[in-house]
Structure 1
Amino acid sequence: MSIKSIKKGTILVAKPTLSNDIFQRSIILITEHLESGSIGFILNRSSHIPISIFVSEIESGSIVYEGGPVDKENIYYIHKRPDLIKNSEKIVDNLYWSGSYDDVREAVNQNLIQNNEIKFFIGYCGWAPKQIKDELDHNSWTITDLDFDIFENWDANLWKTLMKQLGGENLIWLNTPADPSMN
């Protein structure tokens, strides 16, 4: 299941060495990976707040996720509906990010997009050139393929699920507390 290089659609699974911050036990979907840097979104950090609280013109109970520490003044989205959202950026087959905000607002308000077809984020994760490579060299992340539905409500369960799938040395971390010093 592990892969050697990062590309669009790669999943970063936080190692326990990343503790006491937003990246602790986080699962990140890479949506853009270029020489100039990378962008991704944390998939398992729910804000427990519906999008309608953040953006009053979107009438939906869809929960917003904490996408990352960068640009927390803006809402971003990953979706399955490039047919309804112009200028969407393809991540992998049947998975897109960004696109026309007006199209999103209209499609959500007209119930053309369902909750299992779009996920909203406040902020994102950003890396400077070669920063992810440095973090991988420091054993901060495990990288793997995207082989689960990101639109399910995973929250904390996703980290344990992926650690089990990765197996090997990752299994030792399953039952450790979020703060290993409390063990």
Structure 2
Amino acid sequence: MNIDLNIFKIQSNNVLPSRGKILISEPFLRDVTFGRSVILLVDHTEEGSMGLVINKPLPLLLNEIIMEFKYLNEIPLYKGGPVATDTLFYLHTLTDIPGSISISKGLYLNGDFDEIKKYILQGNEINGHIRFFLGYSGWESEQLHNEIKENTWLVSEEEKSYLMKDNTKDMWRKALEKLGSKYETWSRFPQVPTFN
């Protein structure tokens, strides 16, 4: 029996990528880093694109790499991507951090880390306000556009509260479901259809 494998091809939703939008991986992308991932685009220009995978927690806590946080409640770390995996990036909602880059309304990237540390050490709430990542995801000029044309990624928008939540377990599925019934069906397929 021959199966038409085109039924497993997802069609792009024709939304253009830009800073602050998210990329949702197509359901059958079999890649350790990018399979079933949601990526926040933190930069998108003609020269290239940069993003952070926001739904892949690492088996490591920020408390384990920053000694000042050693005795604080657990602070999760996420795998931002395969590039510069020894570099810390942070998304936050704090409007007064010098040097921050505005990603979208009320959402910022990086900035003065001493101010971030001070905020945390003063006992302020982290959940919903700051998320930490090791590494980032990068695309050269035209590379992301080509991947979107090949239907590797769907482009969408999400609320700041969604992007900042620590519970990322169902983030990919929920992001896909929000695109409509066609994509909701795709969200229930196994990543490797032959394993079903």
* Normalised TM-score (structure 1): 0.91
- By how many angstroms is 1:141 displaced? 0.6
- By how many angstroms is 1:113 displaced? 5.0
The residue aligned with 1:156 is: 169
Alignment of 1:1-183 (within 5 A): 4-59=15-70, 60=72, 61-83=74-96, 85-112=97-124, 114-147=126-159, 148-183=161-196
How many residues get paired?
A: 181
Describe the superposition over 1:110-160 as per-residue Cα deviations: whole angstroms up to 9, x where unpaired: 224522200000111111111110100110010011235212123230111
CA contact under 8 A between 2:28 and 2:192: conserved in structure 1? no
> Partner letter of residue 82 of structure 1?
T
> Partner letter of residue 92 of structure 1?
S
Ranges in structure 1 where 5+ consecutive residues have no aligned partner: none
Ranges in structure 2 where 5+ consecutive residues have no aligned partner: 1-12
Q: Which has the larger radius of gyration?
A: 2
Q: What fraction of aligned residue pairs are identical, expressed as a percent? A: 29
Describe the superposition over 1:29-66 as per-residue Cα deviations: whole angstroms up to 9, x where unpaired: 00111111111111110114321112223354220011
* Normalised TM-score (structure 2): 0.85
Report the RMSD for the aligned CA atoms in angstroms.
1.7
Name the stretch that deviates more: 142-151 or 114-123.
Answer: 142-151
> Partner letter of residue 132 of structure 2?
F
CA contact under 8 A between 1:81 and 1:113: conserved in structure 2? no
SS in 2 for 1:8: coil
Rate the CA distance shift 1:36–1:20 in 2: closer, same or farther, 3 A: closer
Rate the CA distance shift 1:115–1:171 in 2: closer, same or farther, 3 A: closer
